[in-house]
Amino acid sequence: MTDRATLLKHTSMHKGLTNYVGQNNCFLNVIIQSLWHLDSFRVLITSSDHTALHSVHDTCLLCELKEIFTYYEYGEEKTLAPDNVRVALNVLSSQTDRFRLGAMADATETLDTILASMHADQVRHHALPHPSPTTPLPPQQSLSSSIEINDTDCDPKCIGHALFESNMFDMYRCQSCQATSEPEMWKDTLYRVYFAELYQCVANTTTSAKSFFFRSSSPTANHPSNKEHSFEAVLRTLLNEGPRRSCPENELTKCRGSCLVDRWLMKFPIVFAVSIVWPATTVGGVELKAFANIIPHQLDLGLIFRLGGDAADLPKPESIYVFRGMVCYYGQHYVSFFKSQSKAHECGTRLSFTAPLPSLHRTPTSPLASHPSWEVLRAPVASSPDGKCRYIVRLTAQDGGLGLVVGDDISSLEPPSESSSDPHPPRRLMITALETSNSKRPLLPAVACGVICVGDQLLQVDGEVVEDESWTAWTAMERLVTAAGPVTLTLARAVPWSCSHCTLINDVGATTCAACDRPHLQLPSSGAASSVAPNEESQKQQHTPAAAATADVFV
């Protein structure tokens, strides 16, 4: 079996994106590279079938993005051309002329457009009546004509919202009478910060605080000035910078007090992306160093926002994110930097490799929790009276994901035969591939548990039966990649069956016993196996990995 993790490391490390004179592709290249280095995004975009959302001959931004990701992973070329992605981006924004071919554009707007395109396609597809295979889908609209679509919730979540969305609301609280306003909800995929405001908070710390870039320790080390001017403290302070609102009860009580803002975070995003808005295209070295001084190795969202909803119910480590990388613009050029997940690098007279870095664990937003990477809650058996084996495993994502790919069971998609009693047989999903990791790193959970095989049928995900019409291979993969914690899977496979009369164990597929010629008695199917609590099992295997995955933050 191909070592996919090794392939990813060796192919992606030595591949570049073309940016010839006059193309000005750097703004697009850095976003493609950034999304590629986010494991959760890469898995979802490469495992999805986006062609169902548009006509075959339409120019599609997401299909072009998926294609270049495929070349990243499997292609032999050392340089890839993002030309098709650039053309699709231009077509999608033709009414604004924002991404005209050959012109420079903004990287943040590029990321916004890609995520908005994912959302718009998902909303349009589910808003349409289910067409027949011969009915052409309507052509894609430009994003500038999709304001109403952008304000519409997507259910199920598109990739952009599933990974980047932060559910927040602001409440304004009067300092004098403590009256509070109605919550103002807002959902965004990027958290925007203005450097002009940020610099006022950090301008005096340039010499007192050391940067994460200029020394090995974190800038949030146990030093008073570092704690006072940490990135969390700065972002929290910026919430109440600038003009303040008057008391929400001003008209009734005539209170003249001013308000402070309480920003509540209701759901932790898988990826927390921060956009730093700079006032000019060139800045001085003092400003750059002041900014570098506050970039943390870890970011605790619980120190920035007040937590409510699902976020408040999770343990403390769930709010901690690990700095993954950033996109920078300087000297009329964009560059991206992403931290290696396998090696530490020292930059001196030449680049040298040091010992491998253990990767932290996440669930998937926690880099600190120490849950096992896999548990076998019900072990598979070698044979059974009905020839069916049902087993239950609990997998926790680590660096590289769970390590399995779900696809449709082709037999469940075939038209029913004339003799079939069920004209609408349930859709079945199965394990179509298992991913292995680099030999120098721990096995991914699906492989490490040693019980999952290609071809096994997926019955349940966290107790939900997957034979429902709403479950497809795409929704199953989305659920597995974005699950906020360990995932409990109930699976099944065909095994040799034991004769109830003579106890002979017969081969899979045999209809009569080879010893007594009695027919194989099919036991009534109970559907998907019910969940089994860990304390009800006589045996439970578990393994705690030496390395697991981290939450993602990029600036």
Under DSSP, the state recorded for 48 is -
**pLDDT at residue 267, rounded to an integer:** 87
Beta carbons within 8 Å of 77's beta carbon, 6+ residues apart: 15, 71
pLDDT tens per residue across all 555 residues of the chain? 344 444 444 445 568 899 988 889 999 999 999 998 888 888 888 877 666 666 555 678 888 898 899 888 888 888 899 999 999 898 888 777 788 888 999 999 999 999 888 888 877 766 655 444 444 444 444 444 333 445 677 777 888 888 888 888 999 999 889 888 888 888 778 888 888 888 887 765 544 444 444 333 344 444 434 555 688 888 888 888 777 888 888 888 888 888 988 899 988 888 999 998 888 777 778 888 888 888 888 889 999 999 988 888 888 888 889 888 889 888 788 998 887 665 544 444 344 444 444 444 333 443 333 456 788 899 888 888 888 899 999 998 776 678 888 888 766 545 555 555 555 556 789 999 887 755 566 788 888 888 999 999 999 999 888 877 778 888 888 888 877 678 999 999 998 988 888 878 888 888 888 888 888 876 554 444 333 333 333 344 444 433 333 344 555
Q: DSSP readout, 252-301?
A: HH----BEEEEEEEEE--SEEEEEEE-SSS---HHHHHHHHHH--SEEEG
pLDDT at 342: 55
The helix (run of H) or strand (run of E) holding residue 437 is none
Q: Which token pair is 23? A: 């193309």
Quick one: which of 81, 89, 80, 94 has its CA closest to 62?
89
- Greatest Cα pair distance, the chain, in angstroms, is 94
Q: How far apart are CA 274 and CA 108, in angstroms?
A: 10
Contact at 8 Å (CB) between 517 and 285?
A: no
Radius of gyration of the chain (CA): 27
The answer to pTM > 0.95 is no
For 193: left if phi > 0, alpha if psi spans -120 to 50, otherwise beta; the answer is beta
In CATH terms, the superfamily for domain 374-414+423-546 is: PDZ domain (2.30.42.10)
State the pLDDT at residue 312. 86
Residue with tokens 């006072």: 228
- Please spell the DSSP secondary structure of 355-384, one letter per residue: EEPPPPP-SSS-SS----SEEEEE---S-B
Residue 112, C-beta contacts closer than 8 angstroms, at least 6 positions apart? 189, 190
Q: Hey, where are the domains in the chain? A: 1-128+139-160, 165-339, 374-414+423-546
In the structure encoding, which two tokens stand for residue 470, read together?
Answer: 């709403």
Strands (E), 331-456: 334-338, 343-347, 351-356, 374-378, 388-395, 404-408, 429-434
Identify the CATH class of 1-128+139-160. Answer: alpha beta
